[in-house]
Each structure stands twice: as C-alpha cells, then as structure tokens.
C-alpha cells in the first residue's frame, strides 16, 4: 500500500539535537476570558511556516519529539486547543454540536500572524480543526496535512448535523468511556506508571508519554488532575456536527491525508475528492504520528518543502 514519504532525500535538513520549545499566549474569542497557549518551535525571528493541531485529549507538547527536528529549518506553532494543556479558555463540560469553537480559536490565531501563507497540519480531531480553519482563511493557507483525520462517510456526516441524530452521539462508546476516565493521580510519576504500555498508550516511547503527562496534567490539591477533563474530552467525541466534506471539495488548496491501515477514523478513499491526496500508512494504527515519527515527519516536511 502507499504510505508516508521515505525519509531519505529530504531537502529539509534535520539536526540530531532539536531546540527546546518556547510558549506564549494568544487571544481567542471567549467572553469569559482566558488565553490560547502556543508552543513555538524554531526561530522566532522568522514568520511561522506551519501550525499543527493535536488530537482530542492530548496537548501540543505530546508532539514535541515529532515536530522539534523540523524546527531547525522551519518555525512551527503548536497550540493547545481549548480545554487542553496550558490553554485557559473556558471549556465547561457540556454537550456541543460541533468543533466550530475550536475552529474559531484557530482562525483567531491565524489572524494574529504576519508573513506568507502557512501549512496547517493536525492529527485526528486536530486535523479536522485545521481543515475547518483553512476553509475560513484559505488565502492564509498553503496546504493542509491531515494525519488520520476524523472524517465520517458523507451520509453519516450529514445525519450528524440533525438535532436528534446528533444528540445520539453522546452515547458513542468513545464518549461514554471518556466520562469514566480516571482524572486524578497523586503525581505525574504515578500517572506515567499507570499509562505506560496500556490501552491507547501501548507502544508509546517514554519521551512522548512524559511530554503528554507534563502538559496533560495540572496541579491539584491532592496531586494532579487532567487538564482536559473527562467531560470535555467526551463532548469533543460527541460533537460530530461539523461536516468537513464541503471544505474538502471547495478549499482550492492541496490537502494531504495520511490514514492508518488499521482502525482508521478516515473514510475518504484515494481519488474520491479532487485535489485531496490520500495515502495509507502501512502497518499503522490511529496513533502512528507518535509511533512512526520519522515517516510522519517526512510527510510534514514534504508539505513544508512544497511551494
């Protein structure tokens, strides 16, 4: 099967020693205040080349080891989406119909940036948020790279916009399981021990898991608690009323989709939409951006190299 680009022959030269990330905050549309946290990788004196958006329940720092080597030749911004990581925007656990609030946060971030159009990238939910933001600001976007995005078959996506069917998404196993997730530990070390090699974290390198835990928890009176609450994570799983198909068909910018061979969340087939390039990552599951970083990095690098 076709997959991610080979790691040889890249024009984007990578260093063995990636730079440490910096963080800053940006305003976003929120009457209750708060700010969007942005991990900034690369030379801050140059305009951004890419904005990368993480999956539901994760945070920007989870992808540090994936993105940092690219930052020797490109500047990459990785925001913590609303309700995740260091971002302090309001995220009351309530059932929402779509990810348009996350989209609007990213549009606000794009509007603050100067320089040429950027590459938008993301994983899972973050990939769809990237696409939806691109649809709002196509003149500010060079291309979109989507790593196993959550794209339902078109009839299902249309049905999810209907009130009664949309509410049924609250009973999705992913949503109900998220509500049962343990949200407190005595320390980050205890969380690491609980997660290592188990469930969705199976196979994760310790460096990636450590980064996830570092910004995935915040201090609490009795230890640490999840920065992305179980209620907020569940509401993201259930908020399937944002149909990405119209944007895919009308964006007018290259879209590169890399979907997992096993248990992919993406229903798009190669050649199904003009201008959308679809490839399958062999022997990979939904978490391949973290489990196959060199191949994934090559895919992101290819988009950065494309004028």
Rg (CA), the chain: 18
Model confidence at 198: pLDDT above 80:
yes
Report the predicted TM-score, pTM, of the whole model to 2 decimal places: 0.91
- State pLDDT tens for residues 276-301: 999 999 999 999 999 999 999 999 99
Per-residue pLDDT tens digits for 255-275: 999 999 999 999 999 999 999
Residue 94: pLDDT over 70? yes
Where residue 159 falls among pLDDT bands split at 50, 70, 90?
A: confident
Residues 203 and 10: their CA atoms lie apart, in Å, by: 27
| Residue 5 confidence (pLDDT) above 60 | no
Q: What's the pLDDT score for residue 168? A: 61
Mean pLDDT of the chain: 90
- CA angle 120-65-122, nearest 5°? 20
Q: How does DSSP assign the chain, residue by residue?
A: ---SPPSTT-SS---SSPPPPEEEEE--S-TT---EEEEEES-TTSPP-EEEEPPTT--GGGGHHHHGGGGGTS-EEEE--TTSTT--S-------S-SHHHHHHHHHHHHH--SS-EEEEEETHHHHHHHHHHHH-GGGEEEEEEES--B--HHHHHHTTSHHHHHHGGG-HHHHHHHTS--EES-HHHHHHHHTTSGGGTT--HHHHHHHHHHHEEEETTEEEESS-HHHHHHHHH------HHHHHH--S-EEEEEESSS-SB-PPTTSSTTEEEEEETT--TTHHHHSHHHHHHHHHHHHH--
Length of the chain: 307
For the chain, domains (ranges, CATH) are 22-168+242-305 (3.40.50.1820)
Work out the percent of the chain whose per-residue pLDDT is above 70.
Answer: 90
């Amino acid at each position: 099967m076709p997959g991610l680009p080979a790691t040889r022959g890249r024009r984007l030269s990578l260093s063995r020693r990636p730079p440490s990330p910096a963080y800053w905050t940006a305003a976003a549309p929120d009457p209750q205040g708060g700010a969007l946290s942005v991990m900034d990788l690369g030379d801050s004196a140059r305009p951004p080349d890419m904005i990368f958006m993480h999956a539901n329940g994760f945070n920007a720092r989870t992808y540090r080891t994936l993105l940092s080597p690219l930052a020797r030749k490109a500047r990459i911004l990785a925001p913590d989406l609303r309700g995740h990581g260091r971002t302090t925007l309001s995220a009351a656990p309530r059932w929402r119909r779509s990810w348009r609030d996350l989209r609007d946060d990213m549009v606000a971030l794009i509007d603050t940036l100067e320089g040429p159009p950027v590459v938008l990238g993301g994983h899972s939910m973050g990939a769809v948020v990237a696409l939806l933001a691109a649809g709002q600001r196509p003149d500010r976007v060079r291309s979109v790279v989507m790593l196993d995005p959550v794209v339902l078959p078109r009839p299902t996506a249309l049905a999810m916009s209907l009130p009664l069917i949309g509410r049924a998404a609250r009973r999705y196993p992913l949503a109900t399981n998220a509500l049962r997730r343990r949200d407190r530990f005595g320390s980050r070390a205890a969380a690491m021990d609980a997660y290592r090699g188990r469930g969705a974290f199976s196979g994760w390198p310790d460096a990636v898991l450590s980064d996830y835990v570092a910004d995935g928890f915040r201090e609490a009176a009795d230890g640490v608690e999840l920065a992305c609450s179980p209620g907020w994570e569940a509401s993201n799983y259930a908020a399937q009323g944002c149909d990405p198909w119209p944007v895919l068909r009308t964006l007018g910018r290259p879209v590169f989709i890399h979907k997992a061979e096993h248990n992919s969340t993406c229903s798009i087939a190669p050649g199904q939409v003009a201008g959308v390039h679809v490839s399958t990552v062999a022997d990979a599951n939904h978490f391949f951006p973290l489990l196959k970083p060199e191949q994934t990095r090559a895919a992101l690098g290819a988009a950065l190299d494309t004028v």
